[in-house]
Amino acid sequence: MTTYKEIKGTQIEVVSSDPSNPVEGQVWYNSTDQVVKGFTLTGAAVWASGGATNQVRSQAAGSGANKDAALTFGGYSGSAALDLTENYNGSSWTEVNDMGTQKRYISGCGTNTAALCTGGYSQGGSILAENEQWNGTNWTEVGDLTRPSNRYDASEFGTTTAALFFGGEPTSALTEQWNGSGWTEVNDLNTARYAPTGFGTTTAGVAAGGRAPSVTAATEIWNGTNWSNGNDLNTARGDPDASQAASSTTGIVFGGSPGPGSSTLAITEQYNGTNWTEIVDMSTARYRAVGAGEGTDAICSTGYTGTARTGATEEFTGAGVSQTRTFTDS
């Protein structure tokens, strides 16, 4: 990320909102956000450091449309399951209202103003069927999963009115679809697995990786009715994360673990609807992290590095993407 030192001495326009059509190299001060911003065009895909979460954690979940508007919630501190929710604005995390239940190994989807948190493992040791919905201010418990009622370490993508929840522990191929008020069991995955990741919508989605129970590279494609086998990831991995708001032809998968124990991966792979291509690595290898955003505009936060839980945040920008970025004051 560019720093203030690199633009010191530049005349900066003061505006109350970001320009609607900025040009390459334009810099301005947003008086509403009270930050200096600039407009750039990336070359190669890149991960850049973002603001660390207030709570170090792993086994959390999240949601978000892009790297400037994301939510992280729940997880495990190392001593307790969490109900804590944090909201990201592109530079820093702010603690907002807690979930109704402390839980970890959860799944999430949506945006930072409208999200779901599904399933998980409670502080008391119970496997959960509950589903909580975030409205931008508060969490409310809504319709529970249908079958089986007990599942955790699954994956989820979609919105608060149309989501898909699949896999989970105990090792499962079950898939359930959310319509905004209740869950319906639909056709199973071809490969039962827990700790997978995915991205897309209820009519076109992708499931990748996980443990079946060994780590797998298997990819499956959802067409709104059935799962079909797709081309494998280049690197088999359990507990990876993804740009879960991406379309089924533009998503990225990152991080994870290549096997048992505490080994971790920094590898990022990009999907084009048919094949996976390895692109730029993250700076911090990790698994059981939180991913959100689009295939060219994503975020990874928290997770386990193999030796410790982390609050580190990294922001992904795809190749050749125009973007508005916030400058740091270092």
Q: Which residues pair with 14 in a beta bridge?
A: 29
Mean pLDDT of the chain: 92
pTM of the full predicted structure? 0.85
Please give the average per-residue pLDDT across 278-286, as a whole number. Answer: 96
DSSP 10: -
pLDDT digits (tens, 9 = 90+) for 39-68: 776 678 999 999 999 999 999 999 999 999
Cβ 291 vs Cβ 239: under 8 Å: no
Q: List the strands of the sheet with 183-186, edge to edge.
A: 155-158, 163-166, 175-178, 183-186
Pick the range with the lowest mean pLDDT from 11-15, 144-148, 302-306.
Answer: 144-148
- Integer CA distances (angstroms), 242 to 39, 83, 99, 287, in order: 26, 22, 23, 11
Q: Which CATH superfamily includes the segment(s) 49-320?
A: Kelch-type beta propeller (2.120.10.80)
Q: Tokens 């409205």 correspond to what residue?
A: 135
Cβ 21 vs Cβ 63: under 8 Å: no
Start-end ranges of CATH 2.120.10.80 in the chain?
49-320
Q: Is 247 exposed, middle or buried (0-12, 13-18, 19+ CB in 10 A)?
A: middle
Cβ 196 vs Cβ 206: under 8 Å: no
Residues of the chain above pLDDT 70, percent: 92
Task: Spell out a b/e string for 252-271, using b for 16 or more CB atoms within 10 Å of the CB, else e.
Answer: bbbbbbeeeeeebbbbbbbb
pLDDT over 80 (residue 326): no
